[in-house]
Structure 1
Amino acid sequence: MTEITIQLTPWQAERSQYYRPNTPLPPRADNDIPEILSPAGNYEKLKAAVLYGADAVYLAAHQFGLRAFAGNFAKEELAEAIDYAHRHGVRVYVTINILAHPSDIDQLPPIVEYVDHCGADGVIVSDPGIFRIVKQYAPDIDVNISTQASVTNQEACNFWYEAGARRIILARELSLKEIAVIRQNIPPDMTLEGFVHGAMCMAWSGRCLLSNIATGRDANRGACAQPCRWSYHVTETGRLKDAEDGTGEPFTWQVEQDETGSFMFSSRDICMIDHIPALINAGINSFKIEGRMKGAYYVGIVTKTYRQAVDTWVREGDAMQVRPEWREELMSMVHRDYDTGFYFNHPLEDAKIAKNRARNIQATVVAIALEMVDKDRLRCEQRNKLMVGEEVEFVTPHGENFSMEVTDLFDEDGEHVMSCPHPQQIFEMTLPEGKVVEAGSFIRRRGKKHGEM
């Protein structure tokens, strides 16, 4: 994403005053207001998270995070990313959450020291061995215990607190009632983080070996091939007979959910936008959005939606009403069937298995807004082909969305053109009278629902 000027949220502006190079930012003073924690799989997604209202981001260096294919940050990029976030009042947590093998150990100390040198606000770990290395080589950095550590009770929280951790990313199998019990029985300065939106793993707290078995790629070292999302055809050939008396030849009995196969390993996506007060009242201090492998558009839209929801709760309290446009935005993302995870159901009561592939309404981002160049002219950077006569919608970081028909387009020389077909092409478009579009806004073309012609 091209460099743009960012309008900070009040929370971001408050913390940006404490910016110092290579120095962590202070946490927000009021832990009763939950943190919006967004994924930052690369620099473009980091900028989208910051622009659209995140309080904090989580990301990985080039090694030892559980999303090896997310893009991540090389050594020099990591320092730049942390500095960028801090200048805008956004905290940064670096994932070092693999389950380490002996060959990993010697490589860990220099990475831990460098992350600390860059001023990261914390590291996310699951392996007790890595925890020990962090405490040895960066004793002052905050340590957040990953969901991979499967923390499911207050005694486990207290164990990690006594070891020096100050945040627990709770196991996804916990209900809100169980989380409330945990909250009441741990030190008040220990914070709790929970997933509120995005994909869920079918394995207990993400501890899966299916990828290792199917492809040889180690999910617990960041290389998951996601075979749980593949379609399967299940057959039973050993016991069923083609004669009622059981004397006939075995025949194949095929189990399919639909014509594309069965998805018995694939979890539904979590979406908690309807339950903000319940999450807060249970004692969750940080609302985590899944999605380091997803695009900047996803990061921006989901971050903005949960930012608006939390800010509404700050103003209106538990009586807040869920805005229809929040649901509409989240439904517009490519997603599997939404669910509330295990916050209200035990895994044995409802396994949360998806019934089909990711689908629903899609929107295609055609451009990113760069700057207003005249009272009614907007300069943009192309993302997908755009043509005169198309209906587009503007999604702004802080304002309300609006739609318009594209009446004219201009190339960099100011010449009229009928389309902008070239990747990252700079162009201008005329806006309706009185409309001003914030830099960094997404310009999208709405798609069709799954199955529509």
Structure 2
Amino acid sequence: MTLAVTKAAAPIRERLVKPELLAPAGSLEKLKFAVHYGADAVYIGGQKYGLRSNADNFSIAQMREGVEFAAKYGAKVFVATNIYAHNEDLPGLESYLKDLEDVGIAAIITADPAIIEAAKRAAPGLEIHLSTQQSTMNWQAVQFWKEEGVSRVVLAREASFAEIRDIKRHVDIEIETFIHGAMCSSYSGRCVLSNHFTDRDSNRGGCCQSCRWKYDLFEEGAEQPPISLTGSDDDKFMMSAKDLSMIEAVPGLIESGVDSLKIEGRMKSLHYVATVVNAYRRAIDAYCDDPEHYVLNEDWLEEIHKAANRPLNTGYYFDEPDHEDHIYTPEDKSADYDFAGVVLDYDPVSQIAAIQQRNHFKPGQEAEFFGPDGTLFKQTIGELRDEEGHLLDAARHPLQIVSMKAEFPVKPMDLMRMQKR
């Protein structure tokens, strides 16, 4: 899909407000990096009632630590409680919601009216954000949820720019929209393929990502093996949607009055979260600081592509996706960089950095360092030593701490990546 517009047709700068940048955090470490790299708020999953049951979900103690860390940056933490509950899910719900309130969680993201009512009773200090699982597409539905006590509505991913602007004109309530990440081939949350194929309920946190599987068509009959109608050498059909990326449309998003811009990806890597969050942080700040002279920085686009898992498009914002906006062949892993390490410490006198290894690297390879404060440079890796000072021919052990010279200053929580060969 071609992006033709980056600004709203009718600018409304007299009430231009910087929107919240909301990032995913599938673990406590990812939460800290999301906030450090520029998120105003993060959304996480607890060990109950969320739709990412395979993520490294948070205990109450980890939530407390995450809230305390985020508070140092002026950021908030939201918790997804977005399952559609069955009867057996309800015992213990109110106690869980009260625990969330007690540790300082700012809001829950939920779709089930039973959970909404339980939150109002048991934890009135929690804001209630309506999940995209409700597929909200019009202002009258938004008004309904406002009257039910919801303070923010996360619109369906299928909402267009025109629909978002119309909703904002009619209803005085916070609106959140997805701006980056995976798209659903069905209306978000309404797919039942996972249940049908694997007995894993998408609406209770068990989605098996069946839209990412390979499929083929076969001639009906008893032939063994079955006869493929597409040809044995053809790529197998896939129904997977391309990923959403609105980095080029940040001005229009801000001018539309959307209150929160949401990045998808609680299952994505630390490198993905940090890279994507920082690119959007820079674009949002640049436009809000000087709308009249804003220019899209090509470096932000390059950063997005360094973390991209799939081909990108603009979803439903400008028009309805067509056949060109789906992936029909085995996925092209477009990201050409691997996450290699995290900077733990740096001595400016010796220029030696302590790096925690996250992927194999060795002397002679080219590494790229980047960080939220503008660090961005490439260098050839020189001598590597372990914590005892022994020379290494490679950093090959997970989480191994090694020391190496950094040609320019780096800071703790800066990241190192390697271009794939």
Rate the CA distance shift 1:286–1:225 in 2: closer, same or farther, 3 A: same
Structure 1 position 151 matched with structure 2 position 130: no
| Alignment partners' CA distance in 1, 2:90 and 2:82 | 13
1:390 aligned residue: 365
Per-residue deviation, 1:369: 0.6
Listed one character per residue, the Cα deviations across residues 343-383 of structure 1 (whole Å, up to 9, x for unaligned) are: 11135x56832233141133122211111124211111111
2:190 aligned residue: 207
Structure 1 position 261 matched with structure 2 position 236: yes
| Alignment partners' CA distance in 1, 2:253 and 2:299 | 20
Rate the CA distance shift 1:417–1:350 in 2: closer, same or farther, 3 A: closer
| Alignment partners' CA distance in 2, 1:176 and 1:276 | 12
Structure 1 position 273 matched with structure 2 position 247: yes
| Alignment partners' CA distance in 2, 1:179 and 1:170 | 8
Matches within 5 A, 1:46-445: 46-187=31-172, 190-235=173-218, 237=220, 254-255=229-230, 259-263=234-238, 265-317=239-291, 319-346=293-320, 352-356=325-329, 357-375=331-349, 376-432=351-407, 435-445=408-418
Rate the CA distance shift 1:140–1:351 in 2: closer, same or farther, 3 A: farther
Per-residue deviation, 1:64: 0.7
Rate the CA distance shift 1:257–1:377 in 2: closer, same or farther, 3 A: farther
Rate the CA distance shift 1:351–1:128 in 2: closer, same or farther, 3 A: farther
Listed one character per residue, the Cα deviations across residues 28-73 of structure 1 (whole Å, up to 9, x for unaligned) are: xx98101110001111111110111110000011011111101110
| Alignment partners' CA distance in 1, 2:35 and 2:294 | 25
Q: Secondary structure at the match of 1:213?
A: helix
Matched-pair contact (CA < 8 Å) for 1:256–1:262 = no
Q: Secondary structure at the match of 1:33?
A: coil
Matched-pair contact (CA < 8 Å) for 1:377–1:430 = yes
Instruction: Write the letter of the residue equivalent to 1:283.
Output: G
Q: Secondary structure at the match of 2:200?
A: coil
Listed one character per residue, the Cα deviations across residues 401-440 of structure 1 (whole Å, up to 9, x for unaligned) are: 10001121222223333322222122211122xx210211
| Alignment partners' CA distance in 1, 2:327 and 2:102 | 43
| Alignment partners' CA distance in 2, 1:308 and 1:229 | 32
Listed one character per residue, the Cα deviations across residues 107-142 of structure 1 (whole Å, up to 9, x for unaligned) are: 211111100111111110101111111111112311
Instruction: Write the letter of the residue equivalent to 1:360.
Output: S
Report the TM-score, using the length of structure 2 for normalisation: 0.91
| Alignment partners' CA distance in 2, 1:61 and 1:361 | 29
Q: Secondary structure at the match of 2:309?
A: coil
Listed one character per residue, the Cα deviations across residues 131-171 of structure 1 (whole Å, up to 9, x for unaligned) are: 11111111231100000011111111111111111111001
Identity %: 36
Matched-pair contact (CA < 8 Å) for 2:367–2:416 = yes
Instruction: Write the letter of the residue equivalent to 2:86.
Output: H
The 10-residue stretch of structure 1 (327-336 or 118-127) with the greater mean CA deviation from structure 2: 327-336
Instruction: Write the letter of the residue equivalent to 1:159.
Output: F
| Alignment partners' CA distance in 2, 1:332 and 1:141 | 37
Rate the CA distance shift 1:275–1:158 in 2: closer, same or farther, 3 A: same
Q: Secondary structure at the match of 2:55?
A: coil
Per-residue deviation, 1:220: 0.3
Report the TM-score, using the length of structure 1 for normalisation: 0.84
Instruction: Write the letter of the residue equivalent to 2:302.
Output: E
Per-residue deviation, 1:235: 3.4
Instruction: Write the letter of the residue equivalent to 1:285.
Output: D
Matched-pair contact (CA < 8 Å) for 2:32–2:66 = no
Q: Secondary structure at the match of 1:72?
A: coil
Rate the CA distance shift 1:253–1:395 in 2: closer, same or farther, 3 A: same
Instruction: Write the letter of the residue equivalent to 1:447.
Output: K
| Alignment partners' CA distance in 2, 1:256 and 1:280 | 48
Structure 2 unaligned blocks of 5 or more: 1-14
Structure 1 position 41 matched with structure 2 position 26: yes
Matched-pair contact (CA < 8 Å) for 1:66–1:223 = yes
Structure 1 unaligned blocks of 5 or more: 1-29, 239-250, 449-453
Aligned residues: CA RMSD: 2.0
Rate the CA distance shift 1:358–1:42 in 2: closer, same or farther, 3 A: farther
Matched-pair contact (CA < 8 Å) for 1:397–1:438 = no
| Alignment partners' CA distance in 1, 2:233 and 2:272 | 28
Matched-pair contact (CA < 8 Å) for 1:277–1:318 = no
Q: Secondary structure at the match of 2:326?
A: coil
Rate the CA distance shift 1:388–1:130 in 2: closer, same or farther, 3 A: same
Matched-pair contact (CA < 8 Å) for 1:49–1:303 = yes
| Alignment partners' CA distance in 1, 2:112 and 2:332 | 32
Per-residue deviation, 1:253: 6.6
Per-residue deviation, 1:105: 1.1
1:26 aligned residue: none
